[in-house]
Amino acid sequence: MNQQTSSTATSTTSVSSHQTAKRSRANNSAVRSKRLRMQLTDTSDFSEIDSALERGAVWFYRKNVENFASYRDFLRVVKPELVARLAEIVGNRPIKYNLKLEASYHIPRSEAPSEDRAFKTRARALLSDTDIGCAVDEDFEVMLAEEDAYSGRGSGFTLTHIDGLMLSVYKYTPLAGSSYIPVPPEINQRKAIINPQNIDQSCFKWSILARHVGGSNKYRVNEKYFNEEHRYDFTGLTFPTPVSQIKIFERRNPNVSVNVYGLERDDDKMKWLVYPLRVADQEQQNHFDLLYIGDSEKSHYAYISDFSRLVRSQKTKHLGRIYTCKRCFTSFDDQPKKHILRGHQALEQHKLICGKNKPILPVMPAEGSKVEFDAWVKTQRLPFVIYADFEALLEKTDDRMGTYTRTVHTHHPMSYGFMVKTSDDVPSELLEHYGIP
pLDDT digits (tens, 9 = 90+) for 358-413: 666 666 677 778 888 888 878 888 888 999 998 998 888 888 777 767 888 888 88
Residues paired with residue 420 on neighbouring β-strands, in sequence order: 386
Determine the pLDDT at residue 338: 47
Interior CA angle at 230 toward 225 and 234, to 5°? 90
Q: Are 114 and 104 in contact (CB under 8 A)?
A: yes
The mean predicted confidence, pLDDT, of the chain is 80
- HSE, CB side, 13 Å, CA atoms: give it for residue 43: 9
Cα torsion 183, 186, 189, 192 to 10°: value is -60
Number of Cβ atoms within 10 Å of the Cβ of 103: 21
Class of domain 21-171: alpha beta
pLDDT score recorded for residue 327: 81
* Distance (Å, whole) CA 225 – CA 205: 10
Q: What is the pLDDT of residue 13?
A: 44
What gap in Å lies between CA 139 and CA 157, rounded to an integer?
A: 24
Q: What's the CA gap between 326 and 145, in Å, rounded?
A: 33
Kindly tell me if the per-residue pLDDT of 1 is higher than 60.
Answer: no
Torsion of CA 34, 38, 39, 41, to 10 degrees: 120
Tell me the torsion sign for CA atoms 312, 316, 320, 321: negative
pLDDT exceeding 90 applies to what percent of the chain?
Answer: 25
Domain coordinates of the chain in residue numbers? Answer: 21-171, 176-314, 317-363, 378-434
Cα distance between residue 147 and residue 162, in whole Å: 12
Residue 43: pLDDT band with limits 50, 70, 90? low
Percent of the chain having pLDDT more than 70? 79
Instruction: Please state, in angstroms and rounded to a whole number, the distance separating the CA atoms of residues 259 and 427.
Output: 65
Window from 35-44, 184-193, 224-233 with minimum mean pLDDT: 35-44
Q: Band the pLDDT of 208: cuts 50, 70, 90.
A: very high
Asked if residue 33 has pLDDT above 70, the reply is no
Per-residue confidence at 340, pLDDT binned at 50, 70, 90? low
Q: Give the mean model confidence (pLDDT) for residues 410-423.
A: 89
pLDDT at 26 over 60: no
- Res 158: pLDDT: 84
Torsion, Cα 241 212 250 95, to 10 degrees, reads: -10
pLDDT value at 201 more than 80 = yes
Q: What angle do CA 269, 270, 275 make, to 5 degrees?
A: 75
pLDDT for 212 beyond 60? yes
User: Is a pLDDT exceeding 90 seen at residue 426?
Assistant: no
Residue 193 contacts residue 302 (beta carbons within 8 Å): yes
| Helix/strand/coil (H/E/C) assignment for every residue in 274-314 | EEEEECCCCCCCEEEEEEEEECCCCEEEEEECCHHHHHHHH
159-197 pLDDT, tens digit per residue, is: 889 999 999 998 876 666 567 888 888 888 888 999 998
- pLDDT higher than threshold 50 for residue 7: no
pLDDT on residue 287? 94
Rounded-to-integer distance, Cα 409 and Cα 370, Å? 32
- Counting other chains too, the contacts that 219-223 makes at CB distance below 8 Å and 24 or more residues apart are 219/194, 219/195, 220/196, 221/196, 221/197
Predicted pLDDT at 409:
86
The whole-number pLDDT of residue 304 equals 95
**Crossing angle between the packed helical segments 71-90 and 132-151, to the nearest 10 degrees:** 140
pLDDT exceeds cutoff 80 at 234? yes
* Model confidence at 8: pLDDT above 60: no
Q: In this model, does residue 44 exceed pLDDT 60? A: yes
Angle at the Cα of 303 from the Cα atoms of 129 and 220, rounded to 5 degrees: 110
Does residue 320 register a pLDDT over 50? yes
Q: Is the pTM higher than 0.75?
A: no
Nearest one of 392, 390, 382, 383 to 418, comparing CA atoms: 390
pLDDT in tens, 253-278: 999 999 999 888 877 677 888 888 88
At 64-108, the pLDDT tens digits run 989 999 999 999 999 999 999 998 888 757 788 999 999 998 887
Residue 364: predicted pLDDT: 67
